[in-house]
C-alpha cells in the first residue's frame, strides 16, 4: 500500500466552503472523484480537481505507480490558511474588521489492496 500526497496552499476560498466539496470526494476512487468534481457547481471544485490531478501526477512520476486506476482518496483535509485583515468604514468615524479567509488543502492518495478471489 503506497500513499502519495499533494498540497494546496493559500487557496483564497474560506475553509468551510471548501470542506463541502472535500467531504463529497473523501474515500472515492480517483476516476469517480474527478467525475464528481467536474459536475459539482461549487467554486472550490475546480482547485480541488486540479489538486487531485497533481496528486495523480505525483503518483506516476515520484512514487512510480503506473496503474492509477487502483488509487483512491484516503484522506483530504482542509485547514485554515492565512487570514487577510481589511477595514471597512462605518458610521461616526469607526471602522469594522473584514476577515478574508484562505484555505490549505492536503490530499492523500493510496493504492487499494489487491482483490483476492
State the chain's mean pLDDT as an integer. 94
Distance CA 4, CA 99 (A): 33
On the question of pLDDT at 5 being above 80, the answer is: yes
Model-level pTM?
0.90
Q: Could you tell me if 1 and 111 are in contact, meaning their C-beta atoms sit under 8 angstroms apart?
A: yes
CB 47 within 8 A of CB 17: no
Residue 116 C-alpha cell reads as 483476492
pLDDT higher than threshold 90 for residue 11: yes
| Domains in the chain with CATH codes | 3-111 (3.90.470.10)
**pLDDT (tens digit per residue) in 66-78:** 888 889 999 999 9
| pLDDT for 113 | 77
H-state helical runs in 1-117 = 15-25, 30-39, 45-61
Amino acid at each position: 500500500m503506497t500513499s502519495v500526497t499533494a498540497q494546496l496552499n493559500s487557496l483564497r476560498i474560506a475553509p468551510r466552503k471548501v470542506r463541502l466539496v472535500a467531504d463529497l470526494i473523501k474515500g472515492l476512487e480517483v476516476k469517480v472523484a474527478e467525475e464528481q468534481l467536474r459536475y459539482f457547481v461549487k467554486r472550490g471544485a475546480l482547485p480541488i480537481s486540479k489538486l487531485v490531478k497533481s496528486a495523480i501526477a505525483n503518483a506516476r512520476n515520484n512514487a512510480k505507480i503506473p496503474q492509477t486506476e487502483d488509487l483512491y482518496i484516503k484522506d483530504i483535509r482542509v485547514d485554515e490558511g492565512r487570514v487577510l485583515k481589511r477595514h471597512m468604514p462605518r458610521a461616526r468615524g469607526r471602522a469594522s474588521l473584514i476577515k478574508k479567509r484562505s484555505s490549505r488543502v492536503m490530499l492523500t492518495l493510496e493504492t487499494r489492496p489487491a482483490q483476492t478471489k
